[in-house]
Amino acid sequence: MKTASRKQCFRLLGFIAFLAIIGFTITGCPGTGRNNPTTVNFTELTADGVSGSVTTTQLTLTFSNVVSGLNANDITLTGVSGVSKGTLSGSGPVYTLQISGFTAAGELTVTVSKNGFVFSPSFREVNIHYFSGGMPSTLQGTVYITPNQAAVNQTLTANYDGPEPVAYQWIKDGVPISTGGNNTTYVPTQTGSYTVRASAEGFISKESSPVTVTPAVLPNVHITPTSPVTGDTLTANHDATSVDITYQWSKDGVIISGANNSTYQANEAGVYRVTISAVNFMSSTSDPVTVIVFVPSLAGNLSITGTTTINNQLNINYTGTESGVTYEWFRLGIGSVGTGLSYTPTVAGTYFVTASAPGYESKTSANVVVTNPELSSFINYPSITSTDGLFVNTTLNAVYTRAASESSLIISYTWFRLDTQVGTGSSFIPTEAGDYSVTITAPGYNSKSSSTVTIANASLPGAVLITGTAQVGNTLLANTQNLVGSGAISYLWQLNGTPISGATSASYTIQAADQGQFLSVTVTRANNSGSVTSAQVGPVQAPAAETGSVDGTVVISDGITSHTVPISESSFGLSPYSSINVTVSGSYDSYYWFVNNSLLNNVSSSLWLNGSDYEYGDHHRILVIVYRNGVPYSVEINFTVSN
């Protein structure tokens, strides 16, 4: 397109209308005010130089298209003191501008303005570098945005933790924000990627990590009523306030054209939803509601009359006046059993009837319970007896006194333990304790049940005795010859009345720890209740000592000198300031140490004693019992504490 001069434009003003008609456009007429400005995207701004080593001398400006007649005077530089412009070169859309005169690094703002053009954005920022032989100043802190996730209309806050006083520039999708973009806080009204740049005079600026701003979420929406029929008005319900909400109704997944109000009259059956939306908000869609075709109900009352025992006729009573009404009979759990105005049930159960008519919703009666006739005697019930008592393994008998009219009935008996059937017949032998009953039945009659009887285990009679000598190492035996009854016997040995863990056999081997205590045994028997406990035996005696049968040494020490004597030298004196160390030679399976008949908590092959721990002038006894292959050996040592 040819560009006209100013003089030519003035001459052509009289022909503007004509030229507009034939579609000819005159551009580039300065001062005429007739031009539409050309929009140019200011897409990128970069600077050469290297932080800490090379000073910036050149800026590179990139636009979306050629800017005709662009020169250095159309460019303004701010933000860094002393910077001056040099030559602008390039034929577009990329241009280079020489700069100089500054003595410190910093963030430079480059603004472009030229008649006939609109630049978007009108300015961009870039860090320029300065090197004078030392390192350039760098902001010491970190710039960051809180929160690190946000939605539209949620406040973002710029944070800087360094000592320098900084200014801020908010940036959206790489483009500096002009309106409100230099405050500490910023409220985004659009989605996008947001950063903030912190800068200070004489310092290289820093930019935060990006924060993604997402659409705000509208609250849930639901439709009422929840069980609509055709002709009902559906209403969208939500808690959104201070927001311009738009509505869109849909049926069976298809948008309903023009259905954009908060209510919608559903004249057709189907599945309906409503979606609410707002600018910069994520839309919200309701759960579906199903609209069904409205069908009127039958107007009359429906009931069943008649005798409610089997083989008697039941009749329908319906008060409505609709034409074409039909009836169907049902037995609960079975289904349809008949049709018509009457029905005679031959089986006990729960019955109801349904009335139907074309164009109407069917109606169902209340249930009626049809039963078998009662046994002829309403007084007599079956009972349970036993000649041997109500115990496990005794015979129970079912007794029923017939009325004269029942003499020909075939009566069956069923036994129950609680609600579980356990037997049949007129007699039954229970094998476990519990609550039992018997039920009698006869064809065509309701059953009758007896009262519950409790069957218990018989008490355990007899006695249990302990045989054997109560001495460490010996084995005691529970003698149950005097225990009455039959069934497996269980045992539990006790020490001073407290059960011994694991001691559940008919015999018990006395342990060294049992010395001085009393033992007993408790027995129980299957199919019997209770238990029998023996008399206690004891106190348990120490095993018989075999003096001299154990070798070893005794070391006597006063802290300065010591001397050793054989363990067989069974008597010696001990100073209150001396100690003794008794050591058993040889290898044994276990060791038990006693001092003055008291068992010590020591299972090693040696024992150390301090003379000051024992009464002055008294005689004291050490007994050590050792076992090898189940055979006990022992040695006794006596000492007297004296000067």
pLDDT tens-digit series, residues 95-117: 999 998 888 888 999 999 999 99
As a whole number of angstroms, the distance between CA 269 and CA 267 comes to 7
Fold (topology level) of 38-128: Immunoglobulin-like (2.60.40)
Q: Which residues neighbour 266 within 8 Å (Cβ) at sequence distance 6 or greater?
A: 228, 230, 231, 232, 233, 234, 251, 272, 291
What band does 429 get if pLDDT is binned at 50, 70 and 90?
very high
- Residue 628 confidence (pLDDT): 79
Architecture of domain 383-456: Sandwich (2.60)
Per residue, the 3-state secondary structure of 347-394, as one string, reads CCEEEEEEEECCCCECEECCCEEEECCCCCCCCCCCEEECCCCCECCC
According to CATH, where is 2.60.40.10 located in the chain?
A: 143-214, 217-291, 302-370, 383-456
As a whole number of angstroms, the distance between CA 400 and CA 380 comes to 7
Please, what sign has the CA dihedral across residues 469, 470, 475, 479? positive
What band does 409 get if pLDDT is binned at 50, 70 and 90?
confident
* Six token digits for residue 500: 């011994």
Most confident of 65-69, 385-389, 607-611: 65-69
Is the CATH number of domain 217-291 2.60.40.10? yes
Of the candidates 168, 184, 187, the one whose C-alpha atom is nearest the C-alpha of residue 176 is 168
- Residue 7 confidence (pLDDT): 40
Q: Which carries the bigger pLDDT value, residue 10 or residue 525?
A: 525
As a whole number of angstroms, the distance between CA 269 and CA 250 comes to 12
CB crowding 414-441: b at 16 or more within 10 Å, else e? bbbbeeeeebeebebebeebbebbbbbb
Is the CATH number of domain 143-214 2.60.40.10? yes
Amino acid at 182: N
**Tens digit of pLDDT for each residue in 168-182?**
999 999 889 988 899
Of the candidates 493, 484, 466, the one whose C-alpha atom is nearest the C-alpha of residue 527 is 484
- Residue 349 confidence (pLDDT): 94
Of the candidates 629, 639, 633, the one whose C-alpha atom is nearest the C-alpha of residue 552 is 633
- Residue 49 confidence (pLDDT): 75
When the pLDDT of each residue in the chain is averaged and rounded to a whole number, the result is 85
Query: Taking 60 as the threshold, does the pLDDT of residue 463 lie above it?
Result: yes
Share of the chain above pLDDT 70, in %: 90
**Starting at the edge strand that comes first in sequence, how are the strands of the sheet with 598-599 ordered?**
571-574, 631-641, 619-628, 590-595, 598-599
Q: Give the number of other Cβ atoms within 10 Å of residue 293's Cβ.
A: 9
- Residue 570 confidence (pLDDT): 66
CATH class label, 459-533: mainly beta
Query: Taking 50 as the threshold, does the pLDDT of residue 631 lie above it?
Result: yes
**Tens digit of pLDDT for each residue in 250-294?**
999 999 999 999 999 999 999 999 999 988 788 899 999 999 988
As a whole number of angstroms, the distance between CA 30 and CA 50 comes to 42
- Residue 405 confidence (pLDDT): 75
- Residue 161 confidence (pLDDT): 94
455, 440 in Cβ contact below 8 A? no
3-state secondary structure of 16: helix
Query: Taking 60 as the threshold, does the pLDDT of residue 303 lie above it?
Result: yes
Please, what sign has the CA dihedral across residues 71, 75, 80, 81? positive
What band does 563 get if pLDDT is binned at 50, 70 and 90?
confident
According to CATH, where is 2.60.40.2700 located in the chain?
A: 459-533
- Residue 253 confidence (pLDDT): 95
- Residue 102 confidence (pLDDT): 87
- Residue 588 confidence (pLDDT): 86
527, 457 in Cβ contact below 8 A? yes
Fold (topology level) of 302-370: Immunoglobulin-like (2.60.40)
Q: Which residues neighbour 337 within 8 Å (Cβ) at sequence distance 6 or greater?
A: 329, 330, 331, 343, 345, 351
CATH class label, 552-641: mainly beta
